[in-house]
Amino acid sequence: MNDEAPTSHAEFSPRMLEALMCPQTQQPLEYDAKRQELISRAARLAFPIRNGIPVMLIDEARRID
Q: Mean pLDDT by 10-residue block, N- to C-terminus, for the chain (65 residues)?
A: 48 87 96 95 97 95 96
CB 43 within 8 Å of CB 37 = no
Closest to 38 measured CA to CA, from 9, 12, 7:
12
Q: What is the pLDDT of residue 3?
A: 47
Q: What is the pLDDT of residue 13?
A: 85
**Residues 5, 48: Cα–Cα separation, whole Å:** 26
- Per-residue pLDDT tens over the stretch 27-44: 999 999 999 999 999 999
**Residues 26, 43: Cα–Cα separation, whole Å:** 9
Q: What is the pLDDT of residue 9?
A: 57
